[in-house]
Amino acid sequence: MKFTITQDAFAEGLQNAVSAVNPRSTLPILSNVLLQAVDNEVILTATDLDFTVRTKAPAKIGKAGSTTLPARRLSTLVKDLAKSDIEVEVDAKSVATLRSGAGIYKIFGLPEAEFPGLPAFEGAVEFTLKASDLKDGLRKTHYAISLDETRYVLNGILFSFKGDKLTLVATDGRRLALAEVNDLEIPASQERDFIVRTKAVTELMRSLSDDAEVVIRLSQNMVQFDCGSTTLISKLVEGNYPNYAQVIPNKVNERVTVEREVLLSAVRRVSLLNTEKTGSVRLNFSKGKIEIKSNTPEVGEAHEELAVSYKGENISVAFNPDFLMAPLRYLQEDEVHFELIDDISPGVIKINAPFVYVLMPMRVGA
């Protein structure tokens, strides 16, 4: 196998692929990235058997072929090479020689035959949507994914394809984020619910480019995201996602519109005086304003005020500041709507787009 590739393209491709390599893999072949030189590109594939990345990089192919090389080491090396073209040549014994400028590097690889085959998705259920829409939906929800490994069903995002939309849901039991991608056409026979693991979500957000479509293919326990030049394959989280609709309050007592950035920065400043993880910020809603307060013994107090058009009852709720700031940080709208019920009920954040964020209050001693 022989090909020439720009340092940029190679480094980027390797960077994408390395994300799928598990440093603690037991099989040596899994620490390697599969390189296939074909037509006018090099296809890089890496996997840890649960998650696979397959990405393409443009290259000039001298001789088609394939091999596998140590992923991390190769990636680190290529990143450090000069920004010129790199010549790669691999002999029959899977030894690769890289030439870049005056440098020559020989790396021992493993034959391609040992690399696990990619799962097939023929005849699988397929969904197509705009990559930017999916990326937007994931951005609005991913921060609410549970980190608690004992609740494995919540360690991912629910993808629910039904009717004319895709609903994305993430929750950890203390807050829930839901976003929709609308204007899809999903025939009844294709309606599906599946849960995509956190790792796949993170990589997916990186790989989705803004101006293309993404094709999602579903097999019995795996999902494939075809983002054009990069394809991600991930094992699904097994199990049924809990009935999230139950969490969303079905009544609203008060509603107020706030400037997102202003609220975010105020909460951030106020929470700076919190020390322990159990610190809270208190939001007091009263006529014309929202007061944001925190009080940490031995450290200090903070108090900020935002002017808003609020005419409802006085409500005072305490929230976890990180959970409150997360949606504000990832939304891009200028304004958000805060919906309240009372002092001990969850708060809900909405925007002028299909999105809901339910945040449970903290019970702070009077």
Partner 1 sequence: MPSPPTPVSKSPRRKVSKVRSPKVSSSRRKNTLPPTVNNSASADELDALWNQISSALKVELGEGVYDRWFSTLSLASVDSREIVLLIPNSIYQVWIESNYAAQVQAALMTIFGGERKLSFRIENAVARPEQLATPVQSEVLQAPVEPAEVVGPKGFNPHYTFDTFVVGTNSEFAHAASLAVAKSPSRTYNPLFIHGGVGLGKTHLLQAIGHHLVASRKGSKVAYVRSETFTNEFIHAIQTNSLVKFRRRYRQADILLIDDIQFLAGKERSQEEFFHTFNSLFEGRKQIVLSSDQPPSEISQLEKRLVSRFEWGLTAELQPPDIETRLAILRKKAAGLDVTLPSHVLDYLAQRVKSNVRRLEGALLRVASFSSLSGRPLTDESIEHVLRDILQEEAKRAVSVDQVQRKVAEHYDIRLADMTSKRRQASIAFPRQVAMFISRRLTKNSLQDIGEAFGGKDHGTVIHACKKVKSRMEKEESLRQVVRFLEASLQR
Closest by CA position to 103, among listed 238, 245, 237, 7:
7
Residue 239 Cβ vs partner 1, minimum distance, rounded to whole Å: 6
Q: Which of residues 336-365 bind partner 1 (CB under 8 A)?
A: 341-342, 344-345, 360
**Toward partner 1, which CB reaches closer, 12 or 172?**
172
Alpha carbon distance 26, 360 (integer Å): 42
Is 271 in a helix, a strand, or coil? helix
Nearest approach in angstroms of CB 337 to partner 1 is 21
Do you know the residue count of the chain? 366
Positions in 133-152 near partner 1 (CB under 8 A)? 151-152
Count Cβ neighbours within 10 Å for each residue of 19-29 and write b for 16 or more, e otherwise: bbbbeeeeeeb
Q: Of 196, 198, 145, 149, which Cα lies nearest the Cα of 172?
A: 145
In terms of CB distance, is 164 or 238 closer to partner 1? 238
**Site residue total, partner 1 (CB under 8 A):** 26
**Mapping DSSP to helix (H, G, I), strand (E, B) and coil, where does residue 215 land?**
strand
Closest distance between partner 1 and the C-beta of residue 329, in Å? 22
Nearest 5°: the CA angle 30, 142, 71 is 20
* Closer to partner 1 by Cβ: residue 47 or 94: 47
Question: 282 Cβ partners below 8 Å, 6+ apart?
Answer: 291, 292, 293, 294, 295, 316, 317, 318, 319, 364
Closest approach of Cβ 202 to partner 1, in Å? Answer: 20
278 touching partner 1, by CB under 8 A = no
One character per residue 109-128, x = contact with partner 1 (rule: CB under 8 A): -------x------------
Q: Which of 49, 82, 104, 272 binds partner 1 (CB under 8 A)?
A: 49
Regarding 153 and contact with partner 1 (CB under 8 A), the answer is yes
User: Among 45, 155, 171, 198, which residue interacts with partner 1 (rule: CB under 8 A)?
Assistant: 171
By C-beta, is 10 or 241 nearer to partner 1? 241
Sites for partner 1 among residues 56-95 (CB under 8 A): none
Can you tell me the distance from the alpha carbon of 35 to that of 23, in angstroms, rounded to the nearest whole number? 19
Q: How far is the CB of 153 from partner 1 (least distance, A)?
A: 8
Binders of partner 1 among residues 224 to 263 (CB under 8 A) are 238-240, 242-244, 246-247
Q: Is 28 a residue that touches partner 1 (CB under 8 A)? A: no
Toward partner 1, which CB reaches closer, 11 or 317?
317
The DSSP-derived string for 158-183 is EEEEETTEEEEEEE-SSEEEEEEE-S
189 is a contact residue toward partner 1 (CB under 8 A) = no
Cβ nearer to partner 1, comparing 239 with 288: 239
C-beta of 173: minimal distance to partner 1 in Å? 3
Nearer to partner 1, 162 or 268 (CB): 162
Q: How many CA atoms lie within 13 A of 198 on its CB side?
A: 15
Site for partner 1 contains 50 (CB under 8 A): yes
CB of 23 to partner 1, least distance (A): 13
Minimal distance, residue 226 CB to partner 1, in Å: 23
Q: Which is nearer to partner 1, 15 or 22 (CB)?
A: 22
Distances (CA, A) of 138 to 70, 207, 331, 365: 31, 12, 11, 36
The C-alpha atoms of residue 86 and residue 78 are separated, in whole angstroms, by: 9
Both tokens of 289, joined, read 């304003």
Q: What residues have CB less than 8 Å from 84, skipping those under 6 apart?
A: 6, 7, 100, 101
Question: Maximum distance among all alpha carbons in the chain?
Answer: 78
Q: Which is nearer to partner 1, 84 or 246 (CB)?
A: 246
User: Could you give the residue ranges of the DSSP H alpha helices within the chain?
Assistant: 7-18, 71-80, 131-141, 198-207, 260-271, 321-330
Which residues of the shown chain bind partner 1 in the complex (CB under 8 A)?
A: 26-27, 49-50, 116, 151-154, 171-174, 238-240, 242-244, 246-247, 341-342, 344-345, 360
